[in-house]
Chains A and B, each alone.
Chain A
Amino acid sequence: MTYEIYIHVPFCLRRCGYCDFNTYTAPDLGGGASRGNYATMVVREMEVIHRWQDNHGIEEPKASTVFFGGGTPTVLPAADLVRMTGAVRDIWGIADDAEITTEANPDTVDEDYIRELADGGFTRISFGMQSAVPHVLRTLDRTHTPANVEAGVRAADHAGLRSSVDLIYGAPGESLDDWRASVRTAIGLGVNHISAYALTVEPTTKMGRQIASGILPRPDDDDEAAKYEIADDMLAEAGLRWYEISNWARPGYESRHNLGYWRNVDWAGIGPGAHSHYAMPEGSRTYDAHGIRSWDIAHPRMWGQALSMGRTPWQGHETITHDENLEETIMLGLRLREGLDLAGLGRALGRVVAPDAFASLRDRGMITMDGGRITPTRKGRLLNDALIADVFAICDL
């Protein structure tokens, strides 16, 4: 069994127009949830969650990964990130070969900061690069310059941390050549891991409103498909192969933490709005379900108030039935190069799934089948929702 820790840091220096994550620019959100006090609150939640796990017979091994996401975790002092990591070690333990990652805004880190993380046990840093093209960065409200990213990656190299960069494609006004330039620049940084995401516009964001009112053009699916293919070709050529729909890495440099989500492992999500997921132990009397997923109160102040009363700061939870778990296994597995294991699927379904059932998907160029696993082709990645729907149908889900 694998166990991971996600720690959400809901602070940013400014909010980007496309962002709908749970993050805030105010340094103090009340209820004890301030930047200065945040690490203390997170440690308290870990204690509360650990107690809840004990009470429900959930025994977790040492954490194999810790991941700080946001928001911008690096608006906190490096010492705070290290202290929170220390608390994970104290409460659950951290495996010897653990992967410990933080996301970083290229603006907010320097050589010393990164050195301090490395000394505190961090192994990996993921930079929000987004684009190398100034007008695209402006559209995305990003304040860093391409040079900041380069400096950050070099500092990480010196400190012995692995680096990843995130890119976003499909921003209004981004040409195919703009996108090629961004991918080329990212490859030129020499990183071993690159994530590339199609811009998803949520209607409630500033960008969403600008698009609704016609100030900005709406991202186009065909344009995004073309850009996905460009990235996939260029990255593969540079030796970074895809391992998940939006992630490419040199073999051995995949994000273990994120792979955990797609493999449906257990994880504790700490911080406002964070989700957690646990398979229920056999014979659990508390929840008659296959698993449970909970999510923390999204607003930091309410979250902080719940914690100060010693409560698990959940906003809600759902029990996951056997079928729902199966649906999740399929929908997540079909995002991966390692794909979906047919024998495992058959066990979960309680019947053998004949490889023949997938022949038509293969003939339509959606999947390949190898060694009892099905893997999406590039077409199957781009049309992943349709692929998932078809596999659900094959499994009578």
Chain B
Amino acid sequence: MAIEQHNKPGYTDQSLIRNFCIIAHIDHGKSTVADRILQLSGIVPEREMRDRFLDRMDIEQERGITIKSQAVRVPWTFDGTEYTLGMIDTPGHVDFTYEVSRALAACEGAVLLVDATQGIEAQTLSNLYMAIDHDLTIIPVLNKIDLPSAEPDKHAEEIAGLIGCNPSDVLRVSGKTGEGVADLLDQIVMDVPAPNGDPDAPARALIFDSVYDSYRGIVTYIRMEDGELHSREKVHMMGIGMTHEPIEIGVISPDMTPTKALGAGEVGYIITGAKDVSQSKVGDTLTSAVRPASEPLPGYRDPKPMVYSGLFPVDNAQFPELREALDKLKLNDAALVYTPETSVALGFGFRCGFLGLLHMEIVSERLSREFGLDLIQTAPNVTYEVTSEDGSVHHVTNPSEFPDGKIKKIVEPMVAADIILPKEFIGAVMDLCQEHRGQMGTMEYISTERVEMHYRMPLAEIVFDFFDQLKSRTKGYASLDYHEDGEQSADLVKVDILIQGEKVDAFSAIVHRDKAYSYGVMMTKKLRELIPRQQFEIPIQAAIGSRIIARETIRALRKDVLAKCYGGDITRKRKLLEKQKAGKKRMKMLGHVEVPQEAFIAALSTDEPTDRDTKDKIRAAQKKEG
């Protein structure tokens, strides 16, 4: 049995409430520390801890949704008084800056959790700055002190230098052994300010997360600012202007527990029965429909996609399923936008907008894993502002929208990139950034070993392959964070790929003129390897406008037959033919040419041109141009 909690939801004085989040880089041990907190608080008895932990993982896998501890209500007794801690999860990802900012807005304090073997990473830093911007009280903590490779003194210096505290103020814990976690909870009670809402004002609650649960519908996580919300009291979403009848309100401690009310300062959830994707947006303000607040909480905005890509079902009959799956994902993910798109090569699909490349990867992986969809994804594209010679301006999120004819000007979005890395990789990272059209800004040593470099780069360069290359060139030690930083005009061209003389829209890309040749050569070579030989010769060309810049040829197939087919071979042969028939369905017909799905997937992968033949061809193409 879990312990009895004294403070009841809806009847807990704000002075006893502490709301905090944990800011940590991926793998720095946030969930282990969070689990340890649940255990120490007594809401998860020790002997159930392991089982419970595993259970949760199972359910996550089974249902395919993340039943995160988005907002757990944790009791903690300090100096004989029971306090109620609201532990709020923050999305740990670079692309989800806005979501992070909403989670931070729901707290008064932040635990800055840093791996004592690794030190500060770029992502921790950007979230830390954001927490400081939100005036949160920062409690610095080094985790994993039980590890032999931990260097707590060194990293405590690093942290102290960053937030301006004493190195001795940095707590030291081990999520694994539990050492120091009780002290951390005491520190939270002491340092984090209590919420300071007006309990008598009309209710206002901030939506900081919204999760689709296949059994319960949309579960909306809220932080009460002012007033009270009662079960069965109609609620109104101020940003989108909709009213709902709540089915349930409650707190999570550690399971979903319905309550009669939620009071000022408390963190909980509300289930409204809303099924439509647009009815519960992160950042929106929830109020009582009967006694509505006049002003919403600040900071609501519609997230703005930075990167676009086309998603097409391999089997076009799956188009309705794709739409449904996107609708469901959007419940959790207000940043995902999509509009139907038709491609000559790929049929019906959606043009999707994402916050960044990793957001895009997460979405496409969930679509295939959780919804069983077989998808082809086109190369990512940022938004270009293209001005034709006649003065007309086009917003190009898709190479197919790139205007024909003479171009006067192209403007592309820029980002400010912050990279933290060990100093021995400075040279390698400078090379990489230069290859990606980066302009170097300042560079600071954050310790004797590590530096933070600042670059201004085109977003298009980052979304393509930058992150993977950064990781590989620094043996995984560098971390990256970026945010929007205006725009610049650039010499960009559209490269088309032609198979048997037919332009394949899915392979077109907008690239810098200097990179057009390497893109053309690499794509044509890749396709030559990926498209199986067929009964006729297939020319594969890359072109800028009508000018061919690269060409490969797939020779005609001369033989596909198996030499022998006697009595014992017939079943196997028939099954093989049936399998080929099924495989053919997964092929896309481009004119007469059968193109396997892998070819489209490979369009996304961006290996460096390493082999000599490719390099020679790129050089030759450039020379011809020069």
Q: Which residues of A contact B (CB under 8 A)?
A: 6, 197-200, 221-222, 224-226, 228, 245-246, 258, 261-262, 267, 269, 273-277, 293, 295, 318, 324, 327-328, 331-332, 335, 364, 381-386, 388-389, 392
Contacts and interface: CB of A to CB of B under 8 A. Distances in A.
Interface string B571-606: 101100110110010000000000000000000000
A261 B564 CA distance: 12
A325 to B, nearest CB: 10
Contact of A385 (B558, B568, B577): B577
B163 interface: no
Contacts of B578: 327
A335 B562 CA distance: 11
A197 B574 contact: no
A383 B564 contact: no
B404 interface: no
Nearest to A364: B535
Contacts of B565: 245, 261-262, 331-332, 335
Contacts of B568: 269, 273-275, 295
A61 B565 CA distance: 25
B566 interface: yes
Contacts of A226: 558
Contacts of A245: 561, 563, 565
Contacts of B563: 197-200, 245-246
Given A226-B558, A383-B561, 14 more contacts: A197-B563, A198-B563, A221-B558, A221-B559, A221-B560, A228-B559, A246-B563, A246-B564, A258-B566, A261-B567, A293-B570, A324-B574, A364-B535, A383-B558
A389 B568 CA distance: 21
A327 B577 CA distance: 9
- Of the candidates B566, B568, B570, the one having the most CB atoms from chain A within 10 angstroms of its own CB is B568
What's the interface size class on B, roughly? 20 to 34
Nearest to A8: B568
B602 to A, nearest CB: 23
23 contacts: A197-B564, A198-B563, A199-B563, A200-B562, A225-B558, A226-B558, A245-B563, A245-B565, A246-B563, A273-B568, A275-B568, A275-B571, A293-B571, A327-B577, A327-B578, A332-B565, A381-B561, A383-B557, A383-B558, A385-B562, A388-B577, A389-B584, A392-B581
Contact of A383 (B535, B562, B574): B535
A364 B557 CA distance: 14
Given A331-B577, A392-B577, A392-B581, A277 B559 contact: no
A224 B563 CA distance: 10
Contacts of A200: 562-564
Contacts of A389: 577, 580-581, 584
- Of the candidates B555, B560, B567, the one having the most CB atoms from chain A within 10 angstroms of its own CB is B567
A331 B559 contact: no
Nearest to B584: A389
B567 A384 contact: no
A332 B561 CA distance: 12
A245 B565 CA distance: 9
Given A331-B574, A389-B577, A267 B561 contact: no
B562 A275 contact: no
Given A258-B566, A275-B571, A382 B560 contact: yes
B570 A275 contact: yes
Contacts of B557: 221, 383, 386
Contact of B567 (A6, A198, A228): A6
Nearest to A277: B567
Given A197-B564, A246-B564, A389-B584, A383 B559 contact: yes
A228 B571 CA distance: 25
Contacts of A6: 567
B386 to A, nearest CB: 43
Contacts of A324: 574
Contacts of B562: 200, 385
Given A200-B562, A332-B570, A385 B535 contact: no
Instruction: Give the 10 A-B residue pairs with the shortest CB-CB distance, closest first.
Output: A225-B558, A384-B561, A197-B563, A225-B559, A198-B563, A385-B560, A275-B568, A382-B559, A275-B567, A221-B559
Given A382-B559, A392-B581, A327 B564 contact: no
Contacts of A269: 567-568
Contacts of B566: 258, 261
B511 to A, nearest CB: 35
B576 to A, nearest CB: 8
A14 B555 CA distance: 40
A385 B580 contact: yes
Contacts of B559: 198, 221-222, 224-225, 228, 382-383
A383 B580 CA distance: 14
Interface in B516-567: 535, 555, 557-567
A278 to B, nearest CB: 12
A31 B570 CA distance: 29
Interface string B128-156: 00000000000000000000000000000
B570 A384 contact: no
Interface in B489-512: none
Contacts of B555: 222
A385 B532 CA distance: 14
Contacts of B560: 221, 382-386
Contacts of A277: 567, 570
A224 B560 CA distance: 10
Nearest to A221: B559
Nearest to B534: A386
B561 A385 contact: yes
Contacts of B581: 389, 392
B220 to A, nearest CB: 52
A335 B570 CA distance: 12
Contacts of A385: 560-562, 577, 580
Nearest to B576: A385
Contacts of A386: 535, 557, 560
A275 B569 CA distance: 9
Contact of B570 (A224, A261, A382, A388): A261
A126 to B, nearest CB: 12
B561 to A, nearest CB: 4
